[in-house]
Chain A
Amino acid sequence: EPEVTQTPSHQVTQMGQEVILRCVPISNHLYFYWYRQILGQKVEFLVSFYNNEISEKSEIFDDQFSVERPDGSNFTLKIRSTKLEDSAMYFCASSFGGLNTEAFFGQGTRLTVV
């Protein structure tokens, strides 16, 4: 069964460093998403991406964040200068699109900023 894969599963980084979280969405999907879940809190939307551009983003997705689909298969989330409060589980998701279709989520990358 096709699945969304994310790497790494866990990343530890020092405050102020740049990190790139990687995702391989399901191959025929058209919409891509990043969500995050701070420990014990709600799953929060960060950004959606369609047709090689951001289609929607939340207030959380500020200038420190960027997304890219560099090669037609990977979908990356970059955080330029990490802060302690960026520590969270980051989920990538993809969907085929069309009304009423569900999103398929990856296993998540746990980011720990120290």
Chain B
Amino acid sequence: GDSVTQMEGPVTLSEEAFLTINCTYTATGYPSLFWYVQYPGEGLQLLLKATKADDKGSNKGFEATYRKETTSFHLEKGSVQVSDSAVYFCALSERTGNQFYFGTGTSLTVIP
């Protein structure tokens, strides 16, 4: 079945450090891939998405590239800020209206 495996947290970085959060997936078809972010006390917000192999999703300085050969969708940011502190979820969806499969979430804390 479909699943998402995400890097264990928590992750603590200093401001302006480079961020990578690993995500790999298992799917029977050709899923769309997503990163959602959950800020403290808030719901899940879409951060970025990619819908086919080699697509790069980007938003707010975050990027992730859909790698079919390695079944990965790693999240990266070149220089994190304190305001990026949140929980990040990798997710996939295979069909119209189909359920989203989420990873376990990775908690990121950025310290000044």
Contacts and interface: CB of A to CB of B under 8 A. Distances in A.
Contacts of B45: 105
Contacts of A45: 99-101
B97 A48 contact: yes
B53 to A, nearest CB: 13
A91 B34 contact: no
Name the interface size band of chain B: 20 to 34
Name the interface size band of chain A: 20 to 34
A38 to B, nearest CB: 12
A56 interface: yes
Contacts of A113: none
A35 B100 CA distance: 9
Contact of A97 (B44, B96, B102): B96
Interface in A72-114: 91, 93, 95, 97-108
A41 interface: yes
A105 to B, nearest CB: 4
A102 to B, nearest CB: 5
A91 B32 contact: no
A102 B103 contact: no
B42 interface: yes
B89 interface: yes
Contact of A105 (B36, B96, B99): B36
Contacts of B36: 105
Interface of A: 4, 6, 30-31, 33, 35, 41-45, 48, 50, 55-56, 58, 91, 93, 95, 97-108
Nearest first, the 3 A-B pairs at minimum CB distance are A105-B44, A100-B51, A43-B102
Interface of B: 32, 34, 36, 42-46, 49, 51, 89, 93, 95-105
8 contacts: A31-B97, A42-B103, A43-B44, A44-B102, A56-B97, A105-B36, A105-B45, A107-B43
